[in-house]
């Protein structure tokens, strides 16, 4: 299967038809335990569903293939996946270096769970390679990279950071949630591990919460496998199945997200009410050249700052019809978020705080012209 191209693998990797019935779609094995043919006689290795379930295995095989890794592990949420990965690498006294605009939940996980356990957390501007190099002069166990970032869509150079991190003995982790493997594959660029919130583009329909770890490092994979089994934050069969179904259309969805993202971003550039547009597909974006090198399209996330300040930004966030006001991203439907009071409310007053005139769009796969019209009428209604 792995000699086929991405869209083919998205549909076929791990998806052998059911041998007993011929069902084209591998069924949901909603079973917690498996009959043994005599004591210890496991059928295909299945014993108890925390340790392994065929529906989860289908998803894991699909994820490994799409991220160009050898092994993948699916979890009940993105943060559960991150937790298992971090636990498999960190011990008290070790250090994590992450971006200063990392996903808030990731920062909270390390800062509130791992730091009290004795881990050190430092942050740096990951788009500044010299700053990262300087920060790596202190021994570092994990270099945590996220690109594009949330919500300012900063781009960091995965290949350069992977080389730098490895040279300093750090495990290089890339949170690939915002791009998805349809347009960016960090393991091919030298990263050690990819993590995902499959809740977002991979699931793609805003109907399931999940996470994943993918790697080609067997030692690391064995540790994550143990924690998946030993701690048990596994994805349930129904959730794994929904995610698998979503992934089959990932390539076409992300192509449309990207086309619409570009269209909406271009419509906002130069609009009299708009102070600044953040989208890596715009030539004036500071990360555009790096993005062009490491991504095959620029995705569906667009942020903008409004000249009218917080009041107009808030009004705008409540004035669109197709873009619904909600957290999360990556689903087929367009969503709008006011980060400083929503996704980033908990980091007000810290270095992770975001501007109060900022609005983030998760551009969906509706008709692109309808989305542009909706954003423009929203600006008008906001009195922008």
Q: Is 197 in the site for ligand PLP (CB under 6 A)?
A: yes
Total binding residues toward ligand PLP, as defined by CB under 6 A: 16
Which lies closer to ligand PLP via its Cβ, residue 122 or residue 327? 327
Which lies closer to ligand PLP via its Cβ, residue 193 or residue 372? 193
Q: Is 378 in the site for ligand PLP (CB under 6 A)?
A: no
Q: Is 316 in the site for ligand PLP (CB under 6 A)?
A: no
Contact with ligand PLP (CB under 6 A) among 199, 228, 243, 362:
199
Catalytic residue from among 46, 103, 278, 279: 103
Residue ranges in 23-82 that form contacts with ligand PLP under rule CB under 6 A? 77-79
Catalytic residue from among 87, 185, 200, 315: 200
Contact with ligand PLP (CB under 6 A) among 29, 114, 178, 298:
178
Q: Is 358 in the site for ligand PLP (CB under 6 A)?
A: no
Which lies closer to ligand PLP via its Cβ, residue 77 or residue 319? 77
Residue ranges in 71-110 that form contacts with ligand PLP under rule CB under 6 A? 77-79, 103, 105-106
Which lies closer to ligand PLP via its Cβ, residue 315 or residue 344? 344
Sheet holding 193-197, edge to edge: 71-75, 211-215, 193-197, 171-175, 142-146, 95-99, 120-124
Would you call 218 a catalytic residue per the annotation? no
Would you call 37 a catalytic residue per the annotation? no
> Least distance to ligand PLP from the beta carbon of 186, Å?
13
Would you call 103 a catalytic residue per the annotation? yes
Among the listed ranges 9-17, 93-101, 115-123, 173-181, the one in contact with ligand PLP (CB under 6 A) is 173-181
Which lies closer to ligand PLP via its Cβ, residue 81 or residue 268? 81
Among the listed ranges 113-121, 135-143, 171-179, 309-317, the one in contact with ligand PLP (CB under 6 A) is 171-179
Query: What residue ranges bind ligand PLP (CB under 6 A)?
Result: 77-79, 103, 105-106, 146, 150, 175, 177-178, 197, 199-200, 209, 211
- Which residues are catalytic, by number? 50, 103, 175, 200
């Amino acid at each position: 299967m792995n000699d086929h191209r991405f869209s083919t693998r998205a549909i076929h990797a791990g998806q052998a038809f059911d041998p007993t019935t011929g069902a084209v779609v591998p069924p949901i094995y909603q079973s917690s335990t498996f009959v043994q043919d005599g004591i210890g006689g496991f059928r295909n290795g299945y014993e108890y569903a925390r340790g392994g379930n065929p529906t989860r295995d289908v998803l894991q095989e699909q994820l490994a293939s799409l991220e160009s890794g050898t092994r993948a592990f699916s979890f009940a949420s993105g943060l559960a996946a991150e937790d298992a990965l971090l636990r498999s690498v960190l011990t008290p006294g070790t250090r994590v270096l992450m971006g200063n605009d990392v996903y808030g939940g990731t920062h909270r996980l390390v800062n509130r769970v791992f730091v009290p356990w004795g881990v050190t957390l430092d942050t740096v501007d990951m788009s500044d390679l010299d700053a990262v190099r300087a920060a790596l002069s202190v021994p570092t166990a994990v270099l945590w990279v996220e690109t594009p970032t949330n919500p300012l869509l900063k781009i960091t150079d995965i290949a350069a950071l992977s080389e730098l991190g490895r040279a300093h003995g750090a495990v290089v982790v890339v949170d690939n949630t915002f791009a998805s493997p349809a347009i960016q594959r960090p393991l091919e660029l030298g990263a050690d591990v990819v993590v995902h919130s499959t809740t977002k583009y991979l699931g793609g329909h805003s109907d399931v919460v999940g996470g994943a770890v993918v790697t080609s490092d067997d030692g690391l994979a064995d540790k994550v496998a143990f924690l998946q089994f030993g701690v048990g934050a596994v994805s349930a069969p129904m959730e794994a199945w929904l995610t698998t179904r979503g992934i089959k259309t990932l390539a076409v969805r992300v192509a449309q997200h990207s086309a619409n993202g570009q269209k909406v971003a271009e419509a906002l550039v130069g609009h009299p009410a708009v102070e600044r547009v953040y989208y890596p597909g715009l030539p004036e974006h500071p990360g555009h050249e790096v993005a062009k090198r490491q991504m095959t399209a620029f995705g569906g996330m667009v942020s903008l700052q409004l000249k009218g300040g917080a009041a107009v930004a808030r009004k705008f966030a409540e004035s669109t019809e197709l873009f619904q006001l909600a957290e999360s991203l990556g689903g087929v439907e367009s969503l709008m978020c006011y980060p400083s009071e929503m996704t980033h409310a908990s980091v007000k007053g810290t270095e992770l705080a975001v501007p109060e005139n900022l609005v983030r769009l998760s551009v969906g796969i509706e008709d692109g012209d309808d989305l542009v019209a909706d954003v423009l009428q929203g600006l008008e209604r906001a009195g922008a």
